[in-house]
Amino acid sequence: MKTNLYFRRVAVIGAGLTLFRRRMLETPQELAWEAVRKALDEAGLELKDIDCVVIGSAPDAFDGVHMKGEYLAHGSGGVRKMVSRVFVGGATGVMVPNTAWYHVASGLCEKVLAVAEEKMSPARPHPQSVFRYIWDPITEKPLNPNLIWIFAMEMHRYMYVNKITKEDIALVSVKNKKNALNNPYAQAAANITVDDVLKSEVLVWPVQLLDTSPVSDGAAAMVIVSEDVARRYTDTPVWIEGVGWTLDNTEWTGRELAYPRYLEHAARMAYKMAGIERPNKEIDVIEPYDPFDYKELHHIEGLMIARRGEAPKLLKEGVFDIDGDIPSSPSGGLLGVGNPIAAAGLMKTISIYWQLKGTAGRMQVKKPVHTGLAQAWGDLMQASTVIVMRN
Amino acid sequence: MSWDKIGIEDKLLSWHEIMEAEEYVYTVGVAGEEFFNGLKHKKIIGGKCPKCGRIYVPARLYCEECFVKNDFVEVTTKPYIDTYTVVYKDDEGNKLEKPQVIALIRFEATHGGLLAYVEGEVNIGKEVEILEYKIPLIVRVK
């Protein structure tokens, strides 16, 4: 069942990434330029061909530069072009291609650059400290919380409701860091065991060091075009078939934390558009957002790829391995590749694009793939963005 | 590629600022490093686009029009005052002992410019001599 909305078909024809590393030598603008240059080269286009630029970055405060859309404009190729910037916290990375999609789908633009950049290193002592003012100033701020706190509470609730152990969850970190060994851009690739995760430093119980993704700098870019252009420039376009996004209530204390209902809404929107009725049967490869290992499982359930509480069981059975039925985070995800917030979400979208194009190199999953999905999540555990692509 | 050096030598390559986080340490970048190393040797380094020939001052890694990587070149053309202003109060509203002249210095046949403290009879279009190669530049009207 497809929606009866009228829109133009939209394709991806090029993508580029920088290395994901802590304390990159490049400025944010230089990182953006490097990713865009690679994306243009893969697409076979020049900057003069581009109509419009969509820039994504999570809060300005990470790079320590205010109005980052404007700041990044010349590095992203936006000088004297239509430029817009989107930011929904961690969900930004997939909101960027979604936004580029509606620029093209609406008929407004033919060729759009979707660019995401984040430098997490400049803020000291830690990028966490830029979150000081996101809390309720009266009921939460006095406790001086940070984000790992509330993710720890979410993780604990998820474990309690679904009777999941730390060992079950640690397997995600083991899988993703191992997948990242195949990714030339990765920062935190490693062969680790469940034991290593359980023995790593406890940050905010139950979150331990190897349950989390590292601090990273990096940029990602995609060239997103109309059908006519795609047919002219490539024989292997990858189509954006469904997009979805939602924002839940900022009052996170009022929500059931064991299940990401906001993600279910976003996924339903994307599935309806793409005509997907049984996501676990129809989707071949997924890149769910995994800044923490439990989040990948949480999101797989929110995406309705697994029933509530069943993702850990399927993980243990190998369903989400790189040679499994539904490979999950074959790129290595944020746990393995790194987490420059907005760029990380776009990296996931690019990973699916390369999988569907068949150019993922050593990251390429074993089985043939036709439908893929990338997802990102952010703000105060309340925003989700989903993109479904087909080749 | 990544960078993690703390010491006296990198003073010119990073600077500190305070915002919501306790502090930020900014990287000057690939082109910035060329530019600041140039200042140490009393040189103005620009980035020259191999495609359109435009020269960016200060040095830029890429041409924003052609989107290709720039070459780094020494800028030797004449520096002149593009515009200037006179500041009477500091950023907290206190009256300065002596008004401060700040000028935008451009270099002939290049794109961009640098801010400078100016000595001498300031006027738009006047050629200047660079007395100190730092940020901001200190220049004297010729």
Contacts of B29 in chain A (CB under 8 A): 25-27, 29-30
Domain count, chain B: 1
Domain boundary among A173, A204, A233: A233
Would you call A159 helix, strand, or coil by DSSP?
helix
Whole-number mean pLDDT of chain A?
A: 94
- Please write the tens of the pLDDT for every residue from A180-230: 999 999 999 999 999 999 999 999 989 999 999 999 999 999 999 999 999
Contacts of A123 in chain B (CB under 8 A): 21, 23-24
Mean pLDDT value across residues B39-66 = 96
The answer to whether residues A349 and A223 belong to one domain is: no
CB A32 within 8 A of CB B62: no
What gap in Å lies between CA A296 and CA A78, rounded to an integer?
Answer: 34
> What is the domain extent for residue A84?
10-125+216-233
Quick one: A218 exposed, middle or buried, by C-beta within 10 A (0-12, 13-18, 19+)? buried
What gap in Å lies between CA A372 and CA A274, rounded to an integer?
Answer: 11
Contacts of B25 in chain A (CB under 8 A): 121-122, 124
Domain count, chain A: 2
Please report whether residue A253 resides in a domain.
yes
**Where residue A225 sits, what CATH number does that domain have?**
3.40.47.10
Query: Would you place residue A143 in the very low, low, confident or very high pLDDT band (cuts 50, 70, 90)?
Result: confident
Give the one of B3, B66, B67 whose C-beta lies nearest to A23's C-beta: B3
Contacts of A25 in chain B (CB under 8 A): 1-3, 27, 29-30, 33
Query: Is the minimum CB–CB distance between A137 and chain B shorter than 8 Å?
Result: no
- Please write the tens of the pLDDT for every residue from A266-315: 999 999 999 999 999 999 999 999 999 999 999 999 999 999 999 999 99
**Where residue B68 sits, what CATH number does that domain have?**
2.40.50.140
Query: Would you place residue A18 in the very low, low, confident or very high pLDDT band (cuts 50, 70, 90)?
Result: very high
Would you call A91 helix, strand, or coil by DSSP?
coil
> What is the domain extent for residue B111?
12-141
Please report whether residue A377 resides in a domain.
yes
Would you call A34 helix, strand, or coil by DSSP?
helix
The answer to whether residues A206 and A87 belong to one domain is: no
What gap in Å lies between CA A183 and CA A189, rounded to an integer?
Answer: 8
pLDDT score, position A126: 84
Query: Is the minimum CB–CB distance between A60 and chain B shorter than 8 Å?
Result: no
**Is the model's pLDDT at A61 over the cut of 90?**
no
The answer to whether residues A150 and A40 belong to one domain is: no
> What are the start-end ranges of the H helices in A180-218?
194-199
Please report whether residue A195 resides in a domain.
yes
Mean pLDDT value across residues B46-63 = 96
Query: Is the minimum CB–CB distance between B62 and chain A shorter than 8 Å?
Result: yes
Domain boundary among A180, A201, A233: A233
Query: Is the minimum CB–CB distance between A133 and chain B shorter than 8 Å?
Result: yes
Please report whether residue B117 resides in a domain.
yes
pLDDT score, position B3: 46
The answer to whether residues A165 and A210 belong to one domain is: yes
Number of other residues whose CB lies within 10 A of the CB of residue A125: 9
CA-wise closest residue to A206 among A154, A168, A257, A259: A154
What gap in Å lies between CA A46 and CA A112, rounded to an integer?
Answer: 12
> What are the start-end ranges of the H helices in chain A?
28-43, 68-72, 92-105, 147-162, 166-179, 194-199, 227-233, 261-274, 279-282, 293-302, 311-316, 333-337, 341-357
What gap in Å lies between CA B96 and CA B80, rounded to an integer?
Answer: 26
ipTM: 0.85
Please report whether residue B37 resides in a domain.
yes
pLDDT score, position A142: 79
Please report whether residue A380 resides in a domain.
yes
Give the one of A19, A21, A123 whose C-beta lies nearest to B24's C-beta: A123
Residue A243 gets which letter from DSSP? Answer: E
Global pTM? 0.92
Give the one of B1, B21, B61 whose C-beta lies nearest to A24's C-beta: B1
**Is the model's pLDDT at B4 over the cut of 60?**
no
Tokens of A140: 């939460």
The answer to whether residues A105 and A166 belong to one domain is: no
**Is the model's pLDDT at B11 over the cut of 70?**
no
pLDDT score, position B12: 52
The answer to whether residues A252 and A225 belong to one domain is: no
pLDDT score, position A242: 96
**Is the model's pLDDT at A149 over the cut of 50?**
yes
- Please write the tens of the pLDDT for every residue from A67-109: 999 999 999 999 999 999 999 999 999 999 999 999 999 999 9
The answer to whether residues A262 and A313 belong to one domain is: yes
